[in-house]
């Protein structure tokens, strides 16, 4: 499995966790929003790996935008949810097919 696919799964799981109502918000607030910085770095690494692997980049770019705008209540929840779905779909599609 390519590094970009592994990182897509890691970031998708992180985004899905942050999209859980109240729990994600509590985590963001309890870490003083630093979890958003961590997610930004993870999305940047995923983007670099996607560029190297010549694979889809839109999920990582969306993740970077989510990390920037997620501090806004309700908007952050929606962005985390959409980003998690996009990254998971891209991770499934980018896996090698065995016949």
pLDDT single digits (tens) 34-55: 999 999 999 999 999 999 988 9
Q: How many domains does the chain have?
A: 1
Q: Left, alpha or beta for 33 (phi > 0: left; psi -120 to 50: alpha)?
A: left
* Domain assignment of residue 45, yes or no: yes
User: Average pLDDT of 55-66?
Assistant: 94
* Domain assignment of residue 11, yes or no: yes
* Domain assignment of residue 66, yes or no: yes
* pLDDT value at 77 more than 60: yes
* Domain assignment of residue 90, yes or no: yes
Global pTM reads: 0.90
Domain of 89, in residue numbers: 3-94
* Domain assignment of residue 19, yes or no: yes
* Domain assignment of residue 38, yes or no: yes
Q: What is the dihedral of CA 35, 38, 44, 48, to 10 degrees?
A: -140
* Domain assignment of residue 78, yes or no: yes
């Amino acid at each position: 499995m390519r590094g970009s696919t592994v990182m897509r799964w890691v970031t998708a799981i992180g985004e899905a966790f942050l999209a859980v109502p109240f729990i994600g918000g509590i985590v963001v607030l309890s870490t003083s929003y630093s979890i958003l910085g961590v997610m930004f770095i993870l999305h940047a690494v995923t983007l670099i790996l996607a560029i190297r692997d010549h694979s889809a980049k839109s999920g990582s770019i969306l993740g970077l935008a989510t990390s920037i705008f997620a501090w806004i209540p309700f908007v952050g929840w929606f962005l985390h949810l959409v980003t998690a779905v996009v990254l998971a779909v891209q991770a499934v599609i980018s896996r090698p097919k065995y016949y």
